[in-house]
Chains A and B, each alone.
Chain A
Amino acid sequence: MKLDPKIPGGPLEQKWERHKLEMSLVSPANKRKFKVLVVGTGLAGSSAAATLAELGYQVEVFCYQDSPRRAHSIAAQGGINAAKNYQNDGDSVMRLFKDTIKGGDFRSREANVYRLAEVSRNIIDQCVAQGVPFAREYGGQLDNRSFGGAQVSRTFYCRGQTGQQLLLGAYQALSRQIGAGRVKMHPRTEMLDLVVIDGRARGIVTRCLQTGKIESHSADAVVLATGGYSNAFFLSTNAIGCNVTATYRAYKRGAAFANPCFTQIHPTCIPVSGDHQSKLTLMSESLRNDGRIWVPKKPGDKRHPNSIPESERDYYLERKYPSYGNLAPRDISSRAAKEVCDEGRGVGPGGRGVYLDFADAIKRVGRVTIESKYGNLFDMYERITGENAYEQPMRIYPALHYTMGGLWVDYNLMSNIEGLFVIGEANFSDHGANRLGASALMQGLADGYFILPYTIGHFFANAKKEVISTDHAEFKRCEAEVHERIRKLLSIKGRKTAIEFHREAGKLLWDNAGMSRSERSLKEVLKRLPELREEFWRNVNVPGTDADLNQALERANRVADFLEFGELLAYDALTRDESCGAHFRVEHQYPDGEAKRNDADYLYVSAFEFTGVGNTPILHKEPLKYEFVTPTVRSYK
């Protein structure tokens, strides 16, 4: 396996501009001869599909939901970063680049991150032109808020529904193309395999979730925009349907999977209330702008929060990180919460929670202002917990939220399989070992609107044009494998449901490969997950048939992939014998509990090559070269 990141030469500030000039073009008349399949309709998929269709390519789009508008980007709350410097507070492309590199704990590519910061500005302009109703100042100018890991205000937002509005903007752009007949949309359709012929991605095999029909689709390029794999942990802030199937099956067909152990824990989610819990709900990180995080100083203090006096509260983030305080980056805030709960100072049922208190902010600016900023979040909190956060502090706890790892891609967002592009959360490229808040929306739209549409043209201009029919033997072989697997799932008729297996595997990962990891805990995962997988294929019960809408079958099919993928995640975490960003190995920490990076041995991207289920994958290393910034110990004190 050859991993060439294809980073253009020249000064950092000129790489992308130069690369755009150097890339070959496809003439307008020829564009319509190329067909692209886009899988997934979140920010990355929708924006890419719309833009490619505007350019004149033939585009077909797939999503498992009933409408492209429902992809989980819709749930992003807080905002989107852009280096506009509208606030005149010293922001610039270079500063956003540096913040992102540092936030990622120096495990991402400089050139990719710089490009991301550069195009961030175009994204805001594009979204405004589409009618995204960003928050405004009284003078009519765009408003900004600040977010974790940054000392400037560069986050654009639409109340607590930024992801929704950005996605609807992209969805509307896509709808325009569908209406004009330039995009063929396949909703309720799930990709179940990637077809690779002579080293080049030639199409996909899908299952129609309404009729059960298995179908092949052939094209000149395949774009995966299928999101992350947080649901490997069962409980996460992802939608129930989010899964690793598309990227994992591409991995099984030869695509390298990069940094699977880089999984982000979001510090501000509503704590687990019981075993019935099916998912966790995030409270936007933007709440940390006004909320103060604390726990009682005394372990086991069961008093109502409002009756605990100031002197007996520990505002631990403000105490430990005075310059960033409650806005310390996500990984640091999450671990700090775990630490105080481990000390027995956690609050709420089960003792896994900390307070996020708005009393001071309400005193300072008034309840009306807080309501206008976060009203919908307070409402959501009350709906779920039955508690009024204007009158008593919220309870929060970290939860799995985002995955920085994903399929390996080069600077052109193409995987090591020719013709297979991967964008948005599904790729690994820009966030290193930890993503900063409000950067996921930025990356999804950067990839979809402004990067892929250029780089895919360059690929087409240089690739051999050749139409492969879906009657080709390889398509038939992949279809047969998909059929066989579904037949097998339905035939086992065991005693446990797929959800039971999922919950068990998720807990195993959360306890042993979650917020902190050790050699011992990771080896536990590598021992128990194969056992669980073996039991799954012997004892799962999937009711119904394959010829109609069967949600239990859909779930079982996804869980089966998580049961394999979890091993890859744990293996990566084991071989990365250092702490960095969200990857915290207890063996590697400073005396004060901070993550201890090891640049001498681990300044690389781990990219894994599949060698068979249950076999140890081959680790390929893409060295990270820092030419423009010097990796330092990340400090937010």
Chain B
Amino acid sequence: MNLTLHVWRQKSRTDEGRMETYLAKNISPDMSFLEMLDVVNEDLIKHNKEPIAFDHDCREGICGSCGLMINGVAHGPEKATTACQLHMRHFEDGAHIYIEPWRAAAFPVIRDLIVDRSAFDRIIQAGGYISVNTGGAPDGNAIPIPKENAETAMDAAACIGCGACVAACPNASAMLFLSAKVTHLANLPQGQPERVQRVKKMVEQHDREGFGHCTNIYECEAACPKEIPATTITQLNRDYLLAITAGGGPGARKGGAG
């Protein structure tokens, strides 16, 4: 396959940035999207040009490093697929492909297609954990957890923190990322003691980072490579409302989606 790439190039945070055009020649349909970029980069290096910078690591869809807007869609056209797992067989020979970084005020561009997602880390640091020190934990089977709750928690915990939800949202909201962690921990008995404080602290941090608010557009759900359901946002809203009004919150009540 031969493709024409239109790629966002930006030298640094302060550089203005621009789209540049590259040809990707002799691309195999069995290549992943990032392997296709590898081919382009190797060619650039051979011509003494600087390769396109993009974040990537595991290349099996789990580390959450990669994140590209491909033809305006976060992670590209395949449902539930990260850019590293997207294969070129989903593109047509001769196609023009537009590749851009995540666009959000809270995710400043560092270089080319690499953005700074440390805001996500700070949201977790604000409360996305259970405060338990190492040692002294009771036996793992001491508290039975209904399978249904464990499964709901796992569905939400599958978030890889890639930021596609933010990139896809017209408001650049990180609600899906935030609600995924809130829902994960709210569905487990171990998460109950801090449930109220957690949701408050995480939402406050989310707002401080400059992410927008959720207006129920659901682009996040559509873009999420791990199919985190938008119902986690319903759970978040419910917990948050209880946290700021009653001051007590749902306590140990069973969590559920919506």
Q: Do A and B bind each other?
A: yes
Give the interface of A toward B (CB within 8 A): 47, 50-51, 54, 65-72, 74-75, 84, 86, 122, 124-131, 133-142, 156, 158-159, 161, 164-165, 168, 171-173, 175-176, 178-179, 185, 187, 210, 237, 239-241, 273-274, 276-279, 281-282, 379-380, 383-384, 386, 449-450, 453, 493, 495, 497, 499-500, 541, 543-544, 548-549, 551-552
List the B residue with the shortest CB-CB distance to A129.
B137
Across-interface contacts of A156 in B (CB, < 8 A): 140
A541 to B171, CA, bound (A): 43
Q: Which one of A70, A277, A281 lies within 8 Å of B63 (CB-CB)?
A: A70
Give the interface of B toward A (CB within 8 A): 11-12, 28, 30-32, 34-35, 38-39, 41-42, 44-46, 48-51, 53, 55-65, 78, 80-81, 85-87, 89, 110-111, 114, 116-118, 120-122, 124-135, 137-141, 143-147, 150-151, 153-154, 157-158, 160-161, 184-185, 187-188, 190-191
Q: Which one of B32, B49, B60, B153 lies within 8 Å of A75 (CB-CB)?
A: B60
Interchain CB contact under 8 A, B121 and A67: yes
A495 to B47, CA, bound (A): 9
Q: Which one of B39, B62, B65, B188 lies within 8 Å of A164 (CB-CB)?
A: B62
Q: Which one of A139, A179, A453 lies within 8 Å of B125 (CB-CB)?
A: A179
Across-interface contacts of B60 in A (CB, < 8 A): 75, 237, 279, 281-282, 380
A140 to B149, CA, bound (A): 9
Interchain CB contact under 8 A, B42 and A497: yes
Across-interface contacts of A86 in B (CB, < 8 A): 141
Across-interface contacts of A380 in B (CB, < 8 A): 60-61, 85
Interchain CB contact under 8 A, B49 and A543: yes
Interchain CB contact under 8 A, A552 and B51: yes
Interchain CB contact under 8 A, B58 and A74: yes
A379 to B158, CA, bound (A): 15
List the B residue with the shortest CB-CB distance to A52.
B134
Across-interface contacts of B190 in A (CB, < 8 A): 128-131
Across-interface contacts of A278 in B (CB, < 8 A): 32, 34-35, 38, 59
Interchain CB contact under 8 A, B110 and A54: no
Across-interface contacts of B121 in A (CB, < 8 A): 67-69, 175, 178, 185, 187
A318 to B127, CA, bound (A): 50
Interchain CB contact under 8 A, A240 and B124: no
SS class, residues of chain B in contact with chain A: loop
CB of B128 to closest CB in A, whole Å: 6
Interchain CB contact under 8 A, B132 and A129: yes
Q: Which one of B12, B128, B138 lies within 8 Å of A548 (CB-CB)?
A: B12
Interchain CB contact under 8 A, A379 and B80: yes
Interchain CB contact under 8 A, B64 and A69: yes
Across-interface contacts of B49 in A (CB, < 8 A): 543
CB of B94 to closest CB in A, whole Å: 19
Interchain CB contact under 8 A, A172 and B129: yes
CB of A152 to closest CB in B, whole Å: 17
Across-interface contacts of A72 in B (CB, < 8 A): 57-58, 63
CB of A537 to closest CB in B, whole Å: 17
Across-interface contacts of A239 in B (CB, < 8 A): 57-59, 63
Q: A-B pairs with the 4 shortest C-beta distances?
A: A140-B144, A179-B125, A172-B129, A129-B137
Between-chain CB contacts (< 8 Å), 25 pairs: A65-B63, A66-B117, A72-B57, A74-B62, A84-B140, A128-B137, A131-B190, A133-B150, A136-B144, A138-B147, A140-B147, A239-B58, A239-B63, A240-B59, A274-B28, A278-B38, A282-B60, A380-B85, A449-B134, A493-B48, A495-B46, A499-B38, A541-B48, A543-B50, A549-B110
A326 to B188, CA, bound (A): 36
A133-B157 contact, Cβ under 8 Å, with A67-B117, A274-B28, A278-B34? yes
Q: Which one of B48, B56, B131 lies within 8 Å of A176 (CB-CB)?
A: B131
A-B Cβ contacts below 8 A, count = 227
CB of B233 to closest CB in A, whole Å: 19
Interchain CB contact under 8 A, B158 and A161: yes
List the A residue with the shortest CB-CB distance to B42.
A497
Across-interface contacts of A75 in B (CB, < 8 A): 58, 60, 62-63
CB of A33 to closest CB in B, whole Å: 20
Interchain CB contact under 8 A, B89 and A276: no
A175-B118 contact, Cβ under 8 Å, with A140-B144, A551-B51? no
Interchain CB contact under 8 A, A131 and B130: yes
Across-interface contacts of B124 in A (CB, < 8 A): 69, 171-172, 175
List the A residue with the shortest CB-CB distance to B134.
A51
Interchain CB contact under 8 A, B146 and A140: yes
Interchain CB contact under 8 A, B31 and A383: no
Across-interface contacts of A541 in B (CB, < 8 A): 45-46, 48
Interchain CB contact under 8 A, B147 and A130: no
A66 to B57, CA, bound (A): 10
CB of B28 to closest CB in A, whole Å: 6
Which residue, A74, A380, A453, has most C-beta atoms of chain B within 10 A? A74
A595 to B66, CA, bound (A): 41
Interchain CB contact under 8 A, B129 and A175: yes
Q: Which one of A69, A122, A141, A241 lies within 8 Å of B161 (CB-CB)?
A: A69
Interchain CB contact under 8 A, B134 and A450: yes
Knowing that A72-B57, A172-B128, A273-B30 touch, tell me 15 more A-B residue pairs with CB under 8 angstroms: A54-B134, A65-B57, A66-B65, A66-B116, A68-B121, A70-B57, A70-B64, A72-B63, A74-B63, A125-B139, A161-B158, A172-B130, A274-B31, A543-B50, A548-B11
CB of B202 to closest CB in A, whole Å: 11
Interchain CB contact under 8 A, A129 and B138: yes
Across-interface contacts of A51 in B (CB, < 8 A): 133-134
A237 to B35, CA, bound (A): 15
Across-interface contacts of A47 in B (CB, < 8 A): 134
List the B residue with the shortest CB-CB distance to A132.
B157
A74 to B59, CA, bound (A): 12
Interchain CB contact under 8 A, B145 and A140: yes
List the B residue with the shortest CB-CB distance to A379.
B80
Interchain CB contact under 8 A, A158 and B154: yes
A136 to B148, CA, bound (A): 9
List the A residue with the shortest CB-CB distance to B147.
A136
CB of A228 to closest CB in B, whole Å: 14
Interchain CB contact under 8 A, B85 and A133: no
Across-interface contacts of B143 in A (CB, < 8 A): 128
CB of B185 to closest CB in A, whole Å: 5
A50 to B124, CA, bound (A): 14
CB of B151 to closest CB in A, whole Å: 8
CB of A394 to closest CB in B, whole Å: 15
Interchain CB contact under 8 A, A497 and B46: yes
Across-interface contacts of A134 in B (CB, < 8 A): 140, 150
A133-B154 contact, Cβ under 8 Å, with A140-B144, A380-B85, A543-B45? yes
